[in-house]
Amino acid sequence: GNYVRSLLFIDAADVQFAAGAEGRHEASLDIIQLAVGDNGMVLGDWSRTLTLSLTNDQLRDARARGIVYSTRMMVKKPGAYQVRVGIRDTRSAALGSASHFLEIPKVGVGRLAVSGVLVRDGGTSPADARSAATGADDASAARETLGEPSLRIFQRGTDVVFAYEIYDGLDADTAAHLEMS
């Protein structure tokens, strides 16, 4: 089906952490995401509570660089959308929000589409970059939570890796038939 994958950047300086077990720093964030169609109707929604339990080093890095979190929200059909995200710190009740306009193309047999491109420094393996781009599993999402913000500045000569998805629009029966051919 159709979906929107988003990378959220959360400024950890605005998140209230409390002392947790074993010297860790704990916080909890409620995240809600909506896809509003060009007709004003909500055509997709997603929500989750993100629980953080950080070491001293992880907290220092999060405060310096922020928190990056990946979401994948199903939407009903291709078309123009405004994606809206709201985040609430459960401890302080502080709120943050963002929105973005995008278009989900209609794909089908003979109609290809490509996602946006995720670019990472060469210190990240292509498999890790692909997992981050596709949200392959919860473990990879956890590894990617403490990451760099979306602004990428690379020094000349730096190796970079990139990940993207190609959407072929084939239904499962057609794809299975092509695999057997």
pLDDT, one tens digit per residue, over 24-79 is: 999 999 999 999 998 899 989 999 999 999 999 999 988 988 888 889 899 888 88
- What is the reported pLDDT for 141? 40
- Provide mean pLDDT across the span 108-127: 67
Q: What is the pLDDT of residues 161-172, one digit of tens each?
A: 777 777 776 655
pLDDT above 90 coverage of the chain, percent: 35
What SS3 state is found at 122?
A: coil
pLDDT of residue 103: 86
Say which residue, 34 or 5, is predicted with more confidence: 34
pLDDT at residue 171 in the model = 56
What is d(CA 21, CA 158) in angstroms, rounded to the nearest whole number? 39
Tell whether the model's pLDDT for residue 125 goes beyond 50.
no
Contact (CB, 8 A) for 117 and 41: no
Query: What is the share, in percent, of the chain residues with pLDDT greater than 70?
Result: 72
How far apart, in whole angstroms, are the C-alpha atoms of residue 141 and residue 118?
A: 14
What is the pLDDT averaged over residues 121-134?
50
Closest CA to 131 of 105, 100, 165, 160: 165
Phi, psi of 152 (to 5 degrees): -115, 120
